[in-house]
Amino acid sequence: MPRIRNPFKSIGARAQGWFLTGILTLIPIWITWVIFTFVLEQLSALGRPAARKVTEYLGPLAGWFAGDAMQTALALILTLSFILLIGWATSQFIGARLLTLFDRIIQWIPLVEKIYGATKKLLVAMQQKPDGVQRVVLISFPHEEMKAVGIVTRTLTDVHTGEKIAAVYVPTTPVPTSGYLELVPLDQIIETDWTLDEAMTFIISGGAVARDTINFRRGTGTPITLAEALGDTGET
Crossing angle of helices 112-127 and 93-106, in 10° steps, is: 140
The hierarchical CATH code for the domain 132-229 is 2.30.30
Handedness of CA 185, 190, 192, 196 (dihedral sign): negative
**What's the rounded Cα separation, in Å, for the pair 98 and 104?**
10
pTM tops 0.75, yes or no: no
pLDDT at residue 150 tops 70: yes
User: Looking at the predicted structure, is the pLDDT value of residue 235 above 80?
Assistant: no
pLDDT of residue 159: 92
Residue 8 has pLDDT above 70, yes or no: no
pLDDT in tens, 84-143: 887 787 777 777 777 778 878 877 877 777 777 777 766 666 666 666 566 889 998 888
Amino acid at the residue 126:
M
Intervals of CATH 2.30.30 along the chain: 132-229
Which residues sit opposite 184 in a β-bridge? 166
Cα–Cα dist 169/180, whole Å: 6
Q: For residue 231, name the pLDDT band (cuts at 50, 70, 90).
A: very low
- Give the pLDDT confidence score for residue 232 in this predicted structure: 47
Taking every pair of Cα atoms in the chain, the longest distance, rounded to a whole number of angstroms, is 92
Are the beta carbons of 174 and 161 closer than 8 angstroms? no
